[in-house]
Structure 1
Amino acid sequence: MRGGRFVGAAVALGALTAATGTATGRAAGAADGPTAYRMASGATAVTGSGGSDDGPVLKAGARTYTDSIRPGEKKYYGVELDERSSAFVSAVAVPRPGAAMGLRDGIEVALQAPDGTPCGSGRNRSFLSAGGAYPVADYAERVVRAGGPCASAGTYRFVVQRGDATGGDDAAVPVELKYVAEAPRKNEADAPPAPGGWSSRAPSGPPQGEGEGVTGGTGFNDAAELRSGVWKDELRPGETRFYRISVDAGEQLFADAEFGLKPDAGPYVVRGVRLGLSNSARGYVMNRTGGYQGKPATVSLATPPAAYGDAGTGGEAARGMRFAGWYYLQVSLSPKVHGGARGGGVPVTLKVEVAGARKAGHEEGIGRGGGAVGGELVTAAGGAPRKGRLRIIGYAGIGTGSVLLLGLGAWTLAGRRRDG
């Protein structure tokens, strides 16, 4: 599945954080095993259609929807779009924690205009792209550009399709659906593309210190909020924890996940540990993995600066960081890591820094917020981010549009080639 096609939009998720976790944490796990993804409180259950013209319409606003999808199934949903607002329609697919999934299993999401025109490429996410069956998320988008496709108003179609579960768990997988609309940008045409060549090193190196305890959330809805600093958590095999960090325009996010000792971890697990990142519209930004055999292992990521220009330019990482707002770190431990005789989890230290962007090789940063260019800044709701000047955007309905899965071989090949 795609490990790198991500057009970013750190847009409002207001009521999405209905049960937001805090840095001091609330319990996210049961003592007897990994915890499951917690769907949004008050989410509306729907059943996607098997045909392209009669799917349920997912309304605009702060509402979140839930459904489920079986192997090989394709489901359609409708969404109303105007001719001015960009739209981001997401699906989060949630395998059972610790489940063994098929090599060709995952989801693809896409958006189609009323006449069937694809609004950009479909997005593929593999359940096994990070070495374990973790929640996967991405969106299909309609970004309004002069002369671009899918610019007219109408009822669009959002399609979610699941892959082949052969060799793995063939049970239906819950999905969470969300539609976010971005109000038109006043100066989009004047915004330059995201520049390249940004430093992948934090200005002052990783944060130091003993660290503060935190319990990561089960998903986007209860992600624990972090600030720059050192944080300590613990993960069980098969578990994914979510954390959200506010990133302003012109800032980069740097994060290290240091997995500690587990003497009874068992054999070496390729891609046994993972550090992923999504933007506020639940769009894929990047994914980093590493091997694990019970000895300390570190996985790191560094982003381009947030909130630069056109989502269609500047490379995949730059598109993923298009807006200022909340970004969601996901830390995962493979279910293949043995619980061992003593059971328990693996200690994890998170070192997080948000800093003004610097060109590669430059000592001086451009200053916090100093890199804002073009367009209005947007951010998530449900807990104010650091910078009061960020504004909250609105939601729209959820639609269905899909690009068919290309063949199972292509699905697998794409996942192995693109996922980190």
Structure 2
Amino acid sequence: MPVRLGAVAMILGAVAAAAPGPAAAAGTASGTPSPYAFADGAQSVEGASSTGNAAPLKPGGTYKSSLPGSGKVSYRLDLDAVSNAYVSVTAVPSPDSTVSVIDGVKVTVQDAEGNTCSVDNTSFGAARSPHPIAAWGMREISPGKPLCRKPGAYYVSVERVDPDGEGSSPDTWDLELLAMTEPHTAKAGPTSAPEVWNSATPQPLPGQAERRKGGAGFTGATPIGQGAWQDDIRPGQTLFYAVPVDWGQQISATAELGSTDSGGTGYTTDALDLALYNPARGDIADVGVGYNGDQKAGSLPPLPPVDHANRHAATAQVSALRFAGSHYLVAHLSKGVADSFGDGPFPMTLRVRVSGQPQGGPEYAGESEPKGVFDVSDQDLEAAAEGVAAGDDTAMRALAVGGIGTGSALLVGLGVWTVVARRAITA
């Protein structure tokens, strides 16, 4: 009997796992969209007010921390003398907080001698709608960058861009940090970025859109490939999608926000924000789409093909397209849309084009951390075609691809439970 009851428990557990949880549903019990789904197993770490007490971040590790309303917090990286290192910081303000136009998160990397290796910041923009945003820091080994080449301790500091600005509230923000390393190349390559590439404005991909539900965080980003993809988005909600882009390929994307019959009037500046991040979660480009209740659309600017040599470019937008792997499209609908047009949801369509044949990348002298983060595998392409992250359980993939609803799964589970229970009684 205990064995059979254990089997029943396993069945019910599997059925429960098939049902979308809070992170998958991107919502809370009150119906307010959840701001972010942190990586499962993210290690908690406390940012230090002084670099002398900074906690270490291990390459390949994902961490959860917090950022006070004012002041810096610091973390430590212990690095060798040959690898490039990157740290992405995703800042997650409360949906109830207020932010100024220029407020955001700033990430600085310095060596032990106080030399600045990199500075990056990302802001919320004209919509002033709080939502998850990411900035990155790097320690880069490059012939043109004589500083920050020594092995040893490096420090990552994180701070608000405009904590005292008009309209900014001094809330504590949650942080997700991801540290990674990129090995050096086995052979010396170009020391300048490609000068010629197809910079013509790409045409949005036509065709009927397929429904594909976005994720609630970088780790849970829904894989998509070239195509037209439709989802529903609510004011204040942020949706994440992962697009595999290989060496030599160009990505372009257009976001469309459908019309509403709510009867509301008004205009929301940058109502729909679409941002593109690279595999290290470094910001590449974004576009804001204003909204007045009629259908609107906006496209990312033309971007060059992914090339290892792009890192030598003078512009940050080109420099960020420096490695292959999953690039992230992050869509946010301003909470201000609800003031004029209600809570929605609003239909959103992403038209994604990945042009060009994959090319051979650089020969790395070692493995990245995490492994495979700067590659596009057959599993990545399969996941993009199916809309299920690579490595997901086969049964769960069947549920997602086959479109079996949670209710159907529950009925099947209860049916199996009934059969098992009857056998247990008659045994």
TM-score, normalised relative to structure 1: 0.77
Counterpart residue identity of residue 239, structure 1: Q
Q: Which residue number in structure 2 is paired with residue 384 of structure 1?
A: 379
Aligned runs of 1:181-220 on 2, under 5 Å?
Answer: 181-190=181-190, 192-202=192-202, 205-220=203-218
Q: Quick one: distance in 2 between partners of 1:333 and 1:382? A: 32
CA contact (8 A) 1:250 1:308 kept: no
Instruction: Report Cα offsets for 1:103-122 as digits up to 9, x if no partner.
Output: 453211011111111113x1
**1:195–1:325 distance in 2 versus 1, CA, 3 Å:** farther
1:128 maps to which of 117, 125, 128: 125
1:97 maps to which of 88, 95, 98: 95
How big is the shift at 1:263?
A: 3.4
2:155 maps to which of 154, 157, 174: 157
**1:373–1:318 distance in 2 versus 1, CA, 3 Å:** farther
Q: Quick one: distance in 2 between partners of 1:130 and 1:384? A: 37
How big is the shift at 1:72?
A: 1.8
Matching of residue 369 in structure 1 with residue 364 in structure 2: no
Q: Which residue number in structure 2 is paired with residue 115 of structure 1?
A: 113
CA contact (8 A) 2:223 2:241 kept: yes
Counterpart residue identity of residue 379, structure 2: A
Instruction: Report Cα offsets for 1:119-171 as digits up to 9, x if no partner.
Output: 13x11222336642121101111110236210010011110012314423322
Q: Quick one: distance in 1 between partners of 2:290 and 2:265? A: 12
How big is the shift at 1:300?
A: 0.8
Structure 2 residues not aligned, in runs of 5+: 1-16, 365-371, 383-427
Instruction: Report Cα offsets for 1:245-280 as digits up to 9, x if no partner.
Output: 000111111111110012335420111111110011
Q: Which residue number in structure 1 is paired with residue 285 of structure 2?
A: 286
The percent of aligned pairs where both chains have the same amino acid is 31
Structure 1 residues not aligned, in runs of 5+: 1-18, 357-367, 388-420
How big is the shift at 1:312?
A: 2.9
Counterpart residue identity of residue 151, structure 2: A
2:139 maps to which of 133, 137, 142: 142
Which region of structure 1 is more displaced relative to structure 2, 46-55 or 163-172? 163-172
Q: Quick one: distance in 1 between partners of 2:378 and 2:63? A: 21
Q: Which residue number in structure 1 is paired with residue 305 of structure 2?
A: 305
Provide the secondary structure at the position in 1 that maps to 2:317: helix
Aligned-residue RMSD, C-alpha: 2.7
CA contact (8 A) 2:69 2:170 kept: yes
CA contact (8 A) 2:134 2:283 kept: yes
Which region of structure 1 is more displaced relative to structure 2, 38-47 or 179-188? 179-188
Q: Which residue number in structure 2 is paired with residue 11 of structure 1?
A: none
CA contact (8 A) 1:195 1:314 kept: no
**How many aligned residue pairs are there?**
350
How big is the shift at 1:228?
A: 0.8
**1:136–1:274 distance in 2 versus 1, CA, 3 Å:** same
CA contact (8 A) 2:266 2:340 kept: no
Q: Quick one: distance in 1 between partners of 2:324 and 2:376? A: 12
**1:269–1:304 distance in 2 versus 1, CA, 3 Å:** same
**1:266–1:66 distance in 2 versus 1, CA, 3 Å:** farther
Matching of residue 72 in structure 1 with residue 61 in structure 2: no
How big is the shift at 1:386?
A: 3.2
Q: Quick one: distance in 2 between partners of 1:54 and 1:141? A: 21
CA contact (8 A) 2:101 2:126 kept: no
Provide the secondary structure at the position in 2 that maps to 1:338: helix
How big is the shift at 1:238?
A: 1.1
How big is the shift at 1:221?
A: 1.3
Provide the secondary structure at the position in 1 that maps to 2:309: coil
**1:130–1:344 distance in 2 versus 1, CA, 3 Å:** closer
TM-score, normalised relative to structure 2: 0.75
How big is the shift at 1:335?
A: 0.8
Q: Quick one: distance in 2 between partners of 1:150 and 1:219? A: 31
Q: Quick one: distance in 1 between partners of 2:123 and 2:132? A: 10
Q: Quick one: distance in 2 between partners of 1:385 and 1:171? A: 38
Who wins on radius of gyration, i.e. which is larger?
2
**1:250–1:197 distance in 2 versus 1, CA, 3 Å:** closer
